[in-house]
Amino acid sequence: MERKNELLIRAYLVMFLFIAFAAVIFFRVAKISIQEGDKWRAKGGKNVKMIPLKADRGNIYADDGSVLVMSLPFFDIKMDLANPKQEVFEKGVDSLSILLSRHIDSSKSPYEWRSSLVTARVEQKPGYRYFPIAKDVSYSNLVKLKAFPIFRKGANRGGLIVEKKTRREKPFKSLASRTLGEVRPNAPDFGLESYFDEQLSGPTDSLLMKRMSRDNWIPVLDVSELITKKGHDIVTTLDVDIQDVAQQELRFALEKNRAKGGTVLVMEVKTGAIKAVANLKYSEKSQDYLESYNHGVGTLSEPGSTFKAAAALAMLDDGYINLDTKVDLQGGKKKFYRSWMYDSHLHGIRETDFRETFAISSNVGIATLAMKYYEAADNGRIHFRKKMAQFLLDRKTGIELKGEGKPMFKNPTRKSDGWSGTTVPWMAHGYEVNVTPLQTLAFYNAIANDGRYMKPFLVKDILDDGKSVGSYGPKVVKESIANPVAIDAMQELLREAVVNGTGKNFQSEDFEFSGKTGTARDYGGQHEKKEYNASFAGYFPSDNPKYSIIIMVYNPQESYYGSTVAGPVFRNVAEKIYALKYDHFGKEKSLAQSNKVKLPGGHSGYAQDFEKVFAHTGIDYRKKSGSWVKVDPSNNKMNIDKMKISKREVPDVSGMGLRDAIYILENLGLNVYAEGVGKVNKQSLRPGTQIKGQEISLYLN
């Protein structure tokens, strides 16, 4: 019994001590958090803080998967000279100095590196404890640094401090750079980078920083080891080859004609997908043509004769005229009220049919008919204005870019708009109205598409880890902008304008195209010096249109007519696209039929992509089932073999495009870094390595 009481006393004593200890702890916690909370939080805030850690920005791809914009990681490296123990420092400083000189900064000799490190460690001056090693180090060099003597012991024992940052890179440099946009502090707000900023940016985390001196903050954790979230990827409709063609031909034309600037837009007729947006403007500062503004989307101007197609379609759709309607051109000169109107030259033609009137781009002929039916007639002005709305010319296209100009059309019912007796005839041939090149192109594209108006679009998909989270595609805005008979007649007029009209001197020998030249006086320029804009809008091939194109050249000096400045650019762009995409009218080119096909080398990637390419090019192939495959040439065929991918082992992604490689590796839990352009040539982790959430570098070539 005594033994039992003794044990109980001991148990109660222990319990009492625990309760007392817990009470003390509770009291101290309450005192610190409530009574002294402000004081300790203030002290803590002086030495630690949380800063935003932005996710890696998503990539922007072309329609074939080529990377147009990507985020590349770079690192600033410092060394905490107080951390390594003296014996570790003395043993490794010589080897470290040699490696730093050899691989990081060869401008400093090993002796200079050693002297700097030893001096800074011994003196320990304020601000020198965290010795700067290098800035903007690539990931591959960071991997090397981590293996150097002293540094290989990590942050706590080796003093290695890594600060991560990312930089946006465009592998194709200036190609479509204005359309893609920029991401810089205080940079202009434009391009896809701006429009899809929320999707590309991704979520923001926080990073804990600690104060080491007055103005020196370092991360508590090694930021190179942090797996940050990634923004969504954007897949555009841009075709790299077509974009390159458009940009080169535009530059050549601007230099040849000493023009102020220009734009080329290429659209897929059936879908409205934008395949190229090229913009160049002459810079006095750099003495070169730069992509400083997206004229194709943002610049409003009087379109000139390309707008005659709208006036002609209005009269055809209303049934006022047909192709045989007679009109007096009065030799190329006519007075409307008190204002004279002239054709491009005094041709001497009197009465002729509307087919020839449109083909030779007679200002007088178009204006005379428009005056008769829309100015003289009751409510004709209002009806004419409504026809422009019917063709959707008075509205923005809604393309995924900020800064699209809003069309400027006068309203005959609003006195402040200044509608006068000459507005209809002048508007009929492209004056007293302002539209952008893209808005004009969308109208011509609808004519090529048998009247169906497609919304122009630049982005077809938004991807999260390779999976679609926002699919975009062709959108029909209006099934038909005019009746089928009027559309057929308009197509014939646009073909006639090239075959026998203002475009006959720059026809292609390979195929027929349709379109309309334009020449407009730019009254926004200096009035004492005449400035003109030359343009051509059209589509090809005429029989089965695949692409519509508009060319606009601002203030050319050598010549200013659309037929001599813009028309040849259209032909050159169209012919090069034709060479890339077609063998003859309306049929996509089969490389196998040309007897020039060469089997490609080894590749890896998604099976269905290869099957589509081989079917398109006519290349024979033999396949084994599987989603991910390796492809190799053999006996005039391509062998498609299943690629084995294990959830536990690093796969071999050599030969893959970057998009496929990133998709596979990130889904396996690896943190991917990439350098270069093209397909994967080398990877930092060997195939078969056990996956443990490591980092892997891909080297493209």
Across residues 543-568, what is the average pLDDT?
94
Interval 337-347: pLDDT, tens = 989 999 999 99
Q: 131 in helix, strand or coil?
A: strand
Longest dimension (CA), the chain: 137
We find that the CATH architecture of domain 243-584 is 3-Layer(aba) Sandwich (3.40)
Cα–Cα distance for residue pair 212/49, rounded to 1 Å: 12
239 pLDDT exceeds 90? yes
Interval 477-505: pLDDT, tens = 999 999 999 999 999 999 999 999 999 99
The β-bridge relationship of strands 60-61 and 67-80 is antiparallel
Please, what is the average pLDDT of the chain?
86
300 pLDDT exceeds 60? yes
Task: Note the Cα 250 to chain centre separation in Å.
Answer: 19
Q: What is the pLDDT of residue 644?
A: 80
Interval 82-125: pLDDT, tens = 888 889 998 999 999 999 999 888 899 999 999 999 888 887 65
Amino acid of residue 390:
Q
Name the nearest CA neighbour of 349 among 331, 324, 334: 331
Q: What is the pLDDT of residue 40?
A: 53
Q: What is the pLDDT of residue 588?
A: 60
137 pLDDT exceeds 80? yes
Q: What is the pLDDT of residue 38?
A: 62
Rounded to 10 deg, the angle between the 308-318 and 437-448 helix axes is 40
591 pLDDT exceeds 70? no
Q: What percent of the chain has pLDDT over 70?
A: 85
On whether the CB atoms of residues 409 and 388 are closer than 8 A, the answer is: yes
For 257, residues 6+ apart whose C-beta sits below 8 A from its C-beta are 553, 556, 557, 558, 559, 565
Q: What is the pLDDT of residue 697?
A: 86
Hey, what CATH class is 51-236 in?
Answer: alpha beta
592 pLDDT exceeds 50? no
* 598 pLDDT tier (thresholds 50, 70, 90): low
Q: What is the pLDDT of residue 142?
A: 85
Q: What is the pLDDT of residue 15?
A: 82
Q: What is the pLDDT of residue 51?
A: 61
* 32 pLDDT tier (thresholds 50, 70, 90): low
585 pLDDT exceeds 50? no
On whether the CB atoms of residues 403 and 294 are closer than 8 A, the answer is: yes
Q: What is the pLDDT of residue 682?
A: 86
Across residues 583-599, what is the average pLDDT?
50
356 pLDDT exceeds 60? yes
Q: What is the pLDDT of residue 183?
A: 79
Interval 647-673: pLDDT, tens = 888 888 888 888 788 888 888 888 888
CA dihedral defined by 661, 665, 671, 672, rounded to 10 degrees?
-10
Q: What is the pLDDT of residue 25?
A: 81
Q: What is the pLDDT of residue 486?
A: 97
Cα–Cα distance for residue pair 53/657, rounded to 1 Å: 29
Q: What is the pLDDT of residue 594?
A: 42
